[in-house]
Copies of this chain bind each other. A is one copy, B any other.
């Protein structure tokens, strides 16, 4: 964590504070204290409190998207790609629980700017799933009667909800491999016993 410049220190602090208290209950002075800077310093790097939140989204989610795109690029099998996506998402969220919390909670705000962000940059992330499904359908691995536009929502929602519980410190009921395997089984093979 050395050599982080002020901007990054503030972003990191904000993620921690937003995760703990939520955006609205977070105080600028909380973030400043956490970042070990003066309150006023924050305004040298961000326009206002809300701008900090948006920056967290843009910068941090951007990094995750870039990483996962990289991870997926070296794989061609759609089934494996879905597994990679799930594994990557889960581990990325687990590694940065605070960011996960912020994404899961604050990215749902009804605020117009947040909505817009969710509908653009974050959309890119979710669309990675529908692209994989499309590929699978093209190569004949996945059923053609599945609509990628709905399936991507279903998969992301499942992943997101499982993540919430799985990343919570208290939950040690399931291992990473177990969790991924379960999601994989459900989505790839379904619940029904094959006749």
Interface residues of A (CB under 8 A from B): 19-22, 24-25, 79, 101, 104-105, 108-111, 133, 136, 140-143, 145-147, 149-151, 153-162, 165, 173-174, 178-179, 182-183, 185-194
Contacts and interface: CB of A to CB of B under 8 A. Distances in A.
A178 B147 contact: yes
- The quantity of this chain's copies bound in the complex is 4
Contacts of A160: 157, 161
Nearest to A111: B22
A24 B21 CA distance: 13
A151 B174 CA distance: 12
Contacts of A178: 147, 150
Given A105-B108, A158-B154, A161-B157, A189 B186 contact: no
A193 B140 contact: yes
A140 B79 CA distance: 27
14 contacts: A21-B110, A22-B110, A79-B192, A105-B109, A141-B193, A143-B189, A146-B191, A147-B178, A149-B173, A153-B165, A154-B158, A154-B186, A187-B191, A188-B192
Contacts of A188: 190-192
Nearest to A118: B164
Contacts of A165: 153
